[in-house]
Amino acid sequence: AMVGTLLVALSGGRAELGPVLFALAAGISWGAGVLLYQWSSRTHRDDAMVFAGWQLLAAGIFMAIFIPMSGESAIHWTPAFMMALSYTVILATALAVYVWFLLIARLEAGMASLGILLSPAIGLASSWIQLGERPPPVAALGLGIILFAIAFFAWAEWQRAQAALARG
């Protein structure tokens, strides 16, 4: 799936390898965080809301420190901007993070991550359907590799479940 994601990201010829590898490293660290969360939630029986709150607080502090250093111009606090910011912070981020922690508390990390692996595939398919953008052959190959990885993982999970049922 990582190879497929690299192919999709670099297929347009405009992306640089460094930022793409940085994003993949972030994904790997996110996966490690999921495993750490699952271990911690099983060991300490903490609520998903606690983990979601700490993650959002840490991210907010990080952004408050580093966004001013980005060199972007000052924010114009218009009513439309504040509405968009409120939607993004409350619904799109806080709710999504909370639901994510609920999912990974109840599912195995691999099963919960299948939806994450589908994101590039859904993005490419949506741009193809809605905008008529045909993916270049390299991106289509990357998409195929991602879908193969998802199918292989789902098949392996199904095999494991069947073996567990057979054992009793």
Percent of the chain at pLDDT > 70 equals 96
Residue type, 103: L
pLDDT tier, 124 (very low <50, low <70, confident <90, very high otherwise): confident
Q: What are phi and psi of 10, to 5 degrees?
A: -95, 0
pLDDT at residue 69 in the model: 76
Triad 134, 138, 139: Cα angle to 5°: 50
Alpha-carbon span 33 to 58, nearest angstrom: 14
N-term to C-term CA, the chain: 33
Amino acid found at 46: D
One-character DSSP codes across 6-23:
HHHHHTTS-S-HHHHHHH
Give CA–CA dist 37/102, Å, rounded: 11
Predicted pLDDT of residue 83 = 92
- pLDDT tens digits, one per residue of 34-76: 788 878 777 877 777 777 778 778 888 887 787 777 766 777 8
Residue 97 pLDDT more than 90? Answer: no
Average pLDDT, the chain: 80
For the whole model, what pTM was predicted?
0.57
Average pLDDT over residues 117-141: 84
Q: What pLDDT was estimated at residue 153?
A: 82
Between 108 and 163, the more confident residue is 163
Residues sharing a CB contact under 8 Å with residue 143, sequence separation 6 or more, in sequence order: 4, 8, 120, 121, 124, 135
Task: Say if residues 140 and 7 touch (Cβ distance below 8 Å).
Answer: no
How far is 146 from 6, CA to CA, in rounded Å?
10
* pLDDT surpasses 80 at 148: yes
Rounded (5°) CA angle 31-37-41: 155
Task: Identify the residue with better confidence: 118 or 12.
Answer: 118
Q: Is the pLDDT of residue 14 over 70?
A: no
The string of DSSP letters for 66-129 reads HGGGG-PPPP---HHHHHHHHIIIIIIIIIHHHHHHHHHHHS-HHHHHHHHHHHHHHHHHHHHH
Q: What is the pLDDT of residue 79?
A: 93
Q: What is the DSSP letter of 150?
A: H
